[in-house]
Chains A and B, each alone.
Chain A
Amino acid sequence: MSRNFFISIIGLIVLLGAFSTLSFFEEQFSRAVHALTSPLWKGQSALAGKVGDILSAVESKHSLRKENTRLLDEMNRLKAEMLSLALLKKENDELRGHLGVERREQDVTLAFVLVRPNRSPYDTLLIDKGEEDGLKIGSLVSAPGGVAIGTVTSVSRQTAKVVLFSSPGEKSVVEIGASTLRVDATGQGGGNFEAKLPRGIEVHKGDLVSLIRGKRIILGVVEAIQAKPADSFQILLFKLPVNIYELEWVEIEKTPLLD
């Protein structure tokens, strides 16, 4: 290996170190790059939509009829669920009224997902709202339906980067099921989480997992419990109840919530 090659490598390492430690340069460079690339992603989404429309015209009648039936069934099921949710909301509001607790309405904005998590192994999203739309670092991001999925970690003028709670290594404080014990859930990537609980705590498959960020927010449902007889802990595996690879729209609360 030549001397010039070594000098080039050292130069690259120094540049990388400078960008890692001097966050100002990294932020400015990131803003410039996002400003250049967001029109390309918007164009890609528009093109994908047009191609999808053209291809759907050649789909067979049988498959369209089948899809229609499936969607009608799904819609009826969701209508029924919405009725029970409306009832629960009403009860919740009445209880809050009795206890004198006011409901804080969050200012929510809807954003289109430009880049989905399959583009990187980090479980990150890029959305088409930024500083101009009032977004701030730390704002909570939810999938339509109110399931929390992540927080805004960097904001450019017209775009923002969202790191999902399921990003590998990301830790979140959660409560599981009826237990009031708070534990750390660690992201495993791909919308999956792992949480360790002492063996004595009763947990079941299907228990709701709630994120604690100033208020309780649904994060997922327990899918599996691993517990070896010799271990003093049980490992809970759960995942986000939304398909993060097919997300098209997300809701962002403009006021960042405190942990």
Chain B
Amino acid sequence: MNSNGWRLKKRRFSISHDGFLPVAFRVAASMTILASVLFFPWWVGVALGVLATAYFQKFYEVAALAFLFDVLYGAKVELLYGFQFVFAAGAIALLIVSEWVKGYLRWY
């Protein structure tokens, strides 16, 4: 409350409250993974995606980037009845597992 008795509102995404740096770091991580999907071998993107999912809370961007990877380079897999989006499905599974594991870890 201020001196006149009015409740002060907290601003979202203000530099003083949330910090610009964590958001900027997450955006930079997503851009790095995007660049690795476009320009580097597939295992570089997978390694960075796993690390980013482990580090950030609810890193949904990994699913979007994995989907992009499948659209760009994917082929229908006969063993999975012609399903093409293997990496996207794997990214969703990774998200679920990582959030479940984080619930049991003290660091998060």
The reply to whether B69 and A171 form a contact with Cβ atoms under 8 Å apart is: no
Across the interface, do B75 and A5 meet the contact criterion of CB distance under 8 Å? no
Interface residue tally for chain B (C-beta within 8 Å): 31
The 8 closest A-B pairs by CB, nearest first: A120-B73, A122-B75, A169-B78, A163-B75, A120-B42, A118-B41, A30-B71, A1-B99
Docked complex: A159-185 residues within 8 A CB-CB of B: 161, 163, 167-171
Indicate which residue in A121, A153, A169 contacts B79 across the interface (CB closer than 8 Å): A169
A16 & B39 in contact (Cβ 8 Å cutoff): no
Closest Cβ of chain A: how far from B49's Cβ, in Å?
14
> Which chain A residues numbered 215 to 254 have a C-beta less than 8 Å away from chain B?
none
Number of A-B contacts (CB under 8 A): 75
Pairwise interchain contact B92-A19, C-beta atoms closer than 8 A: no
Alpha-carbon gap, A65 to B77, bound state (A)? 46
With CB as the reference atom, state the residue of chain B lying closest to A6.
Answer: B96
A34–B60 touching, CB < 8 Å: no
Expressed in whole angstroms, the minimum distance between the Cβ of A74 and any Cβ of chain B is: 28
Chain B minimum-CB-distance residue to A168: B77
Give chain A residues whose Cβ lies under 8 Å from the Cβ of B100. Answer: 1
Q: Are the C-beta atoms of A8 and B60 separated by less than 8 Å?
A: yes
A16:B78 contact, CB within 8 angstroms: no
Residues of chain A within 8 A of B42, CB atoms compared: 118-121
Contact of B73 with A126 in the complex, beta carbons under 8 Å: yes
Report the Cα distance A9→B63, complex, angstroms.
Answer: 10
Taken together as a complex, chains A and B put the C-alpha atoms of A119 and B42 apart, in Å, by 5
Within the complex, the shortest CB–CB distance from A2 to chain B, in Å, comes to 9
B85→A16 contact, CB < 8 A: yes
Asked whether B41 lies within 8 Å of A119 as measured between CB atoms, the reply is yes
In this assembly, does A82 line the interface, its C-beta being within 8 Å of a C-beta of chain B? no
Task: Give the B-binding residues of A (Cβ under 8 A).
Answer: 1, 5, 8-9, 12-13, 16, 19-20, 26, 29-30, 33-34, 37, 40-41, 44, 115, 118-124, 126, 153, 161, 163, 167-171
Interface of A is mostly: helix
Residues in B whose Cβ lies below 8 Å from that of A12: 60, 63, 92
Binary flags per residue of B37-78, CB closer than 8 Å to A gives 1, else 0: 011111000000000000000101001000111011111111
Q: Give Cα A41 to B1, complex, Å.
A: 56
Q: B38: which of A5, A40, A153 is its contact (CB, 8 Å)? A: A40
Q: Looking across the interface, which residue of chain A has its beta carbon closest to that of B40?
A: A119
Say yes or no: A13-B92 contact (C-beta < 8 A), given A37-B38, A118-B41, A121-B42.
yes
Contact B58–A16 (Cβ < 8 Å): no
Q: How far is the CA of A165 from the CA of B5 in the complex (A)?
A: 75
- Give CA–CA (A163, B75) in the complex, Å: 7
Query: Taking the nearest CB of chain A, how far is it from the CB of B30, in angstroms?
Result: 16
Contacts of B71 in A (CB 8 A): 26, 29-30, 33
How far, in angstroms, from A55 to B72 measured CA to CA in the complex? 31
Find out whether the CB atom of A16 lies under 8 angstroms from the CB atom of B88: yes
* B28 in contact (CB, < 8 A): no
Compute how far the CA of A142 lies from the CA of B7 in the bound complex, rounded to whole angstroms. 72
- Report the separation of the CA atoms of residues A126 and B28 in the bound assembly, to the nearest whole angstrom: 27
| A36 vs chain B, min Cβ distance (A) | 10
Docked complex Cα distance between A13 and B71 (Å): 16
**B103 adjacent to chain A (CB < 8 Å):** yes
